[in-house]
Amino acid sequence: MHCISILLLIALTNITNAYTHRTNKTCTVKASGTNSTDDAPAIRAAFVECGHDGKVVFAPTTYHINSILNISGLSNVDIDIQGKLLWSTNIPYWLNHSLPVGYQNQSTAFILSGNRVRLNGHGLGTLDGNGDAWYEWIRQQPNTSNYPGRPHQITFAGLTDSLVKGVRFIRSQMWTMSIIHSRDTVFEDIFVNNTGNRVSSSNTDGADTIYSTNLLFRNWTVHNGDDSISFKANSTNMTLRDSHFYNGLGIAIGSIGQYKGAFETVENIYVENVEFSNTLHAFYVKTWTDDQNGYPPNGGGGGRGYAEGMRLRNLTATGLRGAAFSISQCTRFSGAPGVGNCTNSQFQVRDVEIEGLRGTTKSARVASLQCSAVAPCMDVAIEGVDLKFANGTAAGSYLCGNVGEKRGWECTGKVCEGGSATGEC
């Protein structure tokens, strides 16, 4: 294992054993028992009373969340979720009242922040976004990507020295979990299923990190229709281990470079022992061009910076739908203004190493790397690949443009240059 990741894993694992017996007050939230009564006020009151050196318990019942939750400033608190938190389907309310996340003009239904927070669902505690209503509604809108006000299920904002464990996230309204301005925290034994019961879900990322450092993701299972997990702007020292992703797009870096003139980075991403089933990619990077077209969340461009130090080991795939490894520096979302030059991004991708990628694929493309001519991709290593079609034939296509310092592979053809939000033309 990479030495940085060993130190990070040891440090973050210690969090799971720290501060476990220092609470002195317990508040059990009383559920109303009816969806016509909002349980959010009772939840807010419990955290006011027991959010410092205390414990907040959600009983094994259903809590109806009909209004926003902003639970901030917690300190040394245990949150024990034994039941279900179920969000209402009052779409006009959420569109008009969801809380700003602080990036890409995104918003959320629930903010949770603090220091030494231990949230445990014991494998049963559930946050249910009632997403079927959202998935059906968004299909009727002209903008089906990042609709203003459509909320993330939960945002961990300024979460430090904390643990989120054993929680189930079901049918999130949009992104499941955004993590911003957070550090030194473990997210483990997490289950996400954003599969729609009636229509397919869209833009239901498993998790997105922003302006955060020293986070460990361990033993995740994600069923969704978008990024399995995405490391966005200023995500550093991230470790992802022992996880299984189904049907989405795979592990993403970005999108990034969306804010004109802003300098953003992604550094030291370590991934090991991850399985992909019917995902589009295993790993992909997406940056905006140097041309600004519109504004976030669906427009933008002109950002600068770099993504470097990305190490991926022991990846297993079953039925990949696209290139196992993809880079697109021409991000374009549905409904966005037209993109310009697909090779003029000032954001550089460099120092990437994929070692050990095996399994089955439906695509001939092992790699599809569409990099910037202004800041070419550098030092890209792909080694230990054993990807085959169902008939046993090896996949052997490596398409590239503007890639320097290749290790373990050679280009077999020219890559497509064109707008994309999912890593390939």
Q: Calculate the dihedral angle through the C-alpha atoms of 256, 262, 267, 269, rounding to the nearest 10 degrees.
A: -20
Tokens, residue 37: 């009564």
Residue 38's CB is within 10 A of a number of other CB atoms, namely 16
Distance CA 81, CA 92 (A): 28
Separation of alpha carbons 137 and 283, rounded Å = 30
In this structure, whether the domain defined by 249-425 belongs to CATH 2.160.20.10 is answered with yes
Q: How far is CA 158 from CA 115, 205, 241, 337, in A?
A: 8, 20, 23, 33
Distances (CA, A) of 355 to 267, 309, 383: 18, 14, 5
CA distance 226 to 145: 11
Give the count of beta carbons closer than 10 Å to the beta carbon of residue 234.
Answer: 21
Select from 154, 125, 115, 130 the least CA-distant residue to 57.
125
Which stretches of 30-117 are DSSP H helices? 40-50, 91-97
Q: Is 40 helix (H, G, I), strand (E, B) or coil?
A: helix
Is the distance from CB of 256 to CB of 225 less than 8 angstroms? Answer: no
Which residues neighbour 391 within 8 Å (Cβ) at sequence distance 6 or greater? none
pLDDT, position 11: 55
Matching CATH topology for 1-230 and 249-425?
yes
CA atoms lying within 13 Å on the CB side of residue 8: 25
Angstrom distance (rounded) from CA 116 to CA 51: 11
Q: E strand or H helix at 100, and its extent?
A: strand 99-100
DSSP secondary structure letter of residue 351:
E
Distance CA 246, CA 229 (A): 11
Please give the Cα distance from 20 to 87 (Å, whole number).
30
| Lookup: tokens for 265 | 């980075």
The answer to whether 386 touches 412, Cβ cutoff 8 Å, is no
Tokens of 300: 């933008």
Per-domain boundaries in the chain: 1-230, 249-425
Q: Give dist(CA 292, CA 302) in Å, integer.
A: 5
- Contact in structure between 184 and 15 (CB atoms under 8 Å): yes
> What gap in Å lies between CA 410 and CA 39, rounded to an integer?
58
pLDDT of residue 23: 59
CATH superfamily of 1-230: Single-stranded right-handed beta-helix, Pectin lyase-like (2.160.20.10)
The neighbouring-strand residues paired with 186 are 163, 216
Q: Which residues of the chain have pLDDT under 70?
A: 1-23, 333-340
Q: Is 105 helix (H, G, I), strand (E, B) or coil?
A: coil
User: Is 48 exposed, middle or buried (CB count within 10 Å of its CB: 0-12, 13-18, 19+)?
Assistant: exposed
Q: Which of these is catalytic: 161, 226, 227, 351?
A: 226
Residue whose C-alpha is closest to residue 58's, from 98, 23, 86 = 86
First to last CA, the chain: 34
CA 159, CA 190: separation in Å to the nearest integer? 17
Q: Is the peptide bond before 255 cis (omega within 30 degrees of 0)?
A: yes
* CA–CA gap between residue 327 and residue 371 (Å, rounded): 7
Q: Mark whether 226 is an active-site residue.
A: yes
Cα 121 from Cα 79, distance rounded (Å) = 8
Whole-model pTM: value is: 0.95
Using DSSP's 3-state secondary structure scheme, residue 2 falls into coil
pLDDT score of 19 = 46
Strands 107-108 and 99-100: antiparallel
> Minimal CA–CA distance to 40: which of 57, 63, 72?
63
